[in-house]
Amino acid sequence: MLSIKRDYYAYLDELSVITILLPYMYHGGEANAFTVQGDEGSISLTIKAKETVQQYAKYTCISSVKLDAGKSYKIIDNHNGSTDLQIGAVIRTKEFDERYFYEGPLGIQYSTEKSSFYLWAPTAQQVKLVLQNPHDHTRSEIPMSRQDKGVWTTELEQNVDGFHYTYLVLINLEWREAVDPYAVAVSVNGEKGVIVDLGKTKTVKPILPDLPSPVDSIIYETHIRDFTIHPNSGADKKGTYQGAAQLGTKTSTGESTGLSYVKELGVTHLELLPVHDFEEVDELNVFKRYNWGYNPSHFNVPEGSYSTDPTNPYARIMELKQLIHAVQEQGIRVIMDVVYNHVYKKEDSPFEKILPGYFFRYDSNGMPANGTGVGNDIASERLMVRRYIHDSVRFWLDEYQVDGFRFDLMGILDVVTMRGVREICDNTDKDILVFGEGWNLQTPLPDEEKAIISNQEKLPRIGQFNDQFRDQMKGSTFDLKNSGFALGNGSMPNVQDLLTGSIGLTDDKAGMFMEPIQTINYVESHDNYTLWDKIEACFPDIEDAHKRKKHVLATALVLLSQGVPFLHSGQEFFRTKYGVENSYKSPDEINRLDWDRRDAFLDNVQFIKDLIQLRKSLAALRLQSADLIRKHASIKFHSPLFVEYTLSEVGSFGDWETLHILINADIEHKKIDLPEGKWKLLLMKDKVYLHDFPDVEENVDIYHTSITIIGKKKAAG
């Protein structure tokens, strides 16, 4: 590309404000008049300010006419020197946002007879559609026409199914080639968009079990590759969509694996780490590198490294749809982990190539914001960025028929965008789950506008990962040796509220959340140390059997607390990543689900299965509102590590009038006298009773590092 020589520089910073930089080597940086010339003629600019900026004289000039960001203009000074008017900070102004906001079609409208192409590029002077025939590889460049609101369009009256395409965009005299941000298919490694007929890939969504409330959910998080890559997974096509969809797989000992195992476990939702197209795994050499997938590149395209044929654009689409359908046929809903908060590399993103500077946030010094820690933050508050996120969510709902979204670093996004996501989901199915990581990150968005935990009252029916539950139950995520309540630390201040949905059991103003559906309770996820690895670090000298008791207690608290329980795959068999805290690019040997380890801990797997069934059978553990929790729940501390969690007068929710959940995180056994009445045992030590409940007389033992549940049946009739 030829370099562009400019004697001085001019930038459109608002639709009527132009900033001009004159180097001191150019007439000493002095000028006393400027005009702007365009198709409409010449306009004299008013110089409002002049200041020194490093080696330049900076002139702030005002135009009497608002300029069009997509047209070509020249700036001429009183020395008869000229330069082109470049796009500057105007794209980050509210006026630009409102003037160029567009609600019409974007992407491709395909049919076998003709296809229409739409690209929003309001600052481009020219745009060309680049089309490559997949048969003879001929390349053609087709000029596009600019329409209202900065949309460029063209129509082709031929069947272009399978053609590769990109866009050439001319901005500030520089041509840039980019993949369509609205592409729904790409060539291998995402180098070009591909035109496909999605009608060929349609599936019919199975009928799913009722989900009266989000608190009836039990979420199980996994990664497509981790799920079946282990040598003993029994899957035919390990590490792929097809491997994850396969039923009837078993280990060499005959125990179920994969999807069949998840069905047997009894969870309601399978959450998949990112399946949209991401960087850092070569789709032609898949096993050379590993990645979780939080490096997004094409948000509406399935990742190719999980496909059996990444060179076939249809294969990845069909295989992901077949996986989702296979999971749903087992009565399990599918949650998609989405990463709308950043892109892999800003400079390489289609967003930046097509409209530089618009899709990302910048700080007060004009530098890219970095609240995400990866060098860029998506500016969700801008109207067309918000529209893109909403369009993408709607696409995954309509085309792939997913049942929920987990928003990575949701705190980077704004409240209005997330409320819009909830509304879009409700228009499809009110049972769709929406939740995310509401961490308050340092991004240039006012705190009151962020989709963070402290703004949960502005985000009704949107769940948040409860970091207080995580850190107070198992110990600080950021201090490896710090232990929490379940691990024997009696100094945790909020245990009673965490057990009861974090809604403020005795003081609603002190609660983290308005309603229990907003708290995602967890002690382990793909991030940070696994629970087992943390326990190993905290207690290197105790016996493994005692470590396992601590692990089981923490996991049981997730399943027995009010709110929405979340499990990391393998948590039920003490998953380890061998002390690796952040395994996002560690080898398969670190990240894979170890099915041999599962076989070694079948007793504990059965215990977790039974706990899941117990939760499902006791609606009182899944109270749907804060009012109901405050009415029926109470907490009594017999000691800092011995908690009596009682659910009273809950006969309208099932067979039990009263439930006492006795939690002993101490290293010593406890015993309590029972209230008057006939009491039955539902849980003791490592045994769950789902029927044939034993009687309990006068008092009950509560073993160390365990939970005991007793219940009193409601009166007959």
Phi, psi of 466 (to 5 degrees): -90, 95
Residue with tokens 């309990």, as numbered in its chain: 696
- 3-state SS, residue 334: strand
For residue 310, CA distances in Å to 203, 281, 480 come to 21, 12, 40
Helix axes 531-538, 544-560, angle to 10 degrees: 130
**What residues are paired with 564 via a beta bridge?**
520
Distances (CA, A) of 453 to 382, 443, 449, 462: 22, 15, 12, 10
The three-state secondary structure class of 91 is helix
Q: Is 610 a catalytic residue?
A: no
Alpha carbon distance 58, 22 (integer Å) = 7
Do 480 and 529 touch, CB atoms closer than 8 A? Answer: yes
Q: Distance (Å, rounded) from C-alpha 181 to C-alpha 585? A: 26
Q: Considering the candidates 303, 414, 431, 437, report the single residue annotated as catalytic.
A: 437
Helices (runs of H) and strands (runs of E) counted in the chain:
16, 36
Angle between helices 258-265 and 602-617 (to 10 degrees): 50
- Which helix H or strand E contains 628, and what residues bound it? helix 626-632
CB contact at 8 A, 462 and 514 = no
CA neighbor of 562 nearest in space, from 652, 478, 659, 456: 659
Count of Cβ atoms closer than 10 Å to residue 282 Cβ: 15
Residues in contact with 464: Cβ distance below 8 Å, sequence separation at least 6, in sequence order: 410, 435, 436, 437, 438, 453, 456, 513, 518, 519, 520
Beta strands in 371-430 (DSSP E): 404-407
- Of 408, 431, 497, 594, the active-site residue reads 408
Could you tell me which of 24, 9, 29 has the C-alpha nearest to residue 88? 9
Q: Of 89, 49, 48, 90, nearest to 67 (Cα)? A: 90
Inter-CA distances, 695 with 82, 644, 675, 677, Å: 94, 19, 14, 11
How would you classify the pairing of strands 56-62 and 46-53? antiparallel
Distance CA 28, CA 495 (A): 70
- Residue 15: phi and psi, rounded to 5, are -65, -20
Whole-number Å distance between alpha carbons of 69 and 85? 10
| Distance between CA atoms of residues 283 and 288, nearest Å | 10
Nearest of 498, 552, 588, 473 to residue 226 by alpha carbon: 588
Say how far apart CA 514 and CA 501 lie, in whole Å: 9
408 is an active site residue:
yes
Q: Which one, of 496, 486, 490, 558, lies nearest residue 524 by Cα? A: 558
- Name 688's bridge partners: 683
- The Cα 229–Cα 226 span in angstroms is 6
Give the C-alpha distances (Å, rounded to integers) separating 373 from 348, 368, 551. 17, 11, 31
Indicate which residues carry an active-site annotation.
408, 437
